Structure 1
């Protein structure tokens, strides 16, 4: 029997929650449950999960008390789809979709999720960036500013 796990998101900054939830869902076994506790109705969070991973989870929302909500996500038993969201994003990206499945799975295994905030500099000026970046949500913009024609890559 699979034991349910629980994460209290109430004390975490909003921008850190999606990454934490994504990692917890990637570790969830078939038939396992993850309960998330929030201080507001988790409608946006449940929508994001069902959008990123369609038909893979049974979603149950319940109000427990004043400003306390539970979102329970149960992985459908016997689900054969790839549970790694990095692999899902890579397979949907035109630049990677034509690669061999083995190469895509190696890329997914090496992927590191990074969450950025609006206006945050993602790559510092004059720094080497030997990585491939892929935006899964939001917009990345290139900006020249300061009157010195400095180029910056920002999350918008």
Structure 2
């Protein structure tokens, strides 16, 4: 399967959110969507990224753009993460990593000599009609939300 790039149609999905609702790609129709994949709730980089997206949430809203963070963590884990860090963005639970696989971000990783499967921190900016506008792979958390916002403003 080839990697998704700008111009491709975003793969459809539906997932449960920390808010108790479900979210589908179709729910973003008419708005831009920032879909950011991150490895794990309450880890350093993931916390930095979520806090930065939260601090810019109003600016994204002014640009008619929704933000959804996706990780393999459970809805329950997302709720705790959101409460602990006062996050006002939606976090989606992809526990079986079907969505991560569809977007090509479920990758073999290694740490301390051990290999395992996990999320490669990546972000997809999707336009109002479900087409991918921009892709960021192997993202460094700090400063990333600002870079995405600049791209949204175009």
Q: Same fold (TM over 0.5)?
A: no
Which structure ranks higher in relative contact order (CA pairs < 8 Å, sequence separation ≥ 6)?
2
Task: Compute the TM-score of the two structures, normalised by the length of structure 2.
Answer: 0.31
Task: Compute the TM-score of the two structures, normalised by the length of structure 1.
Answer: 0.31
Q: Which has more radius of gyration?
A: 1
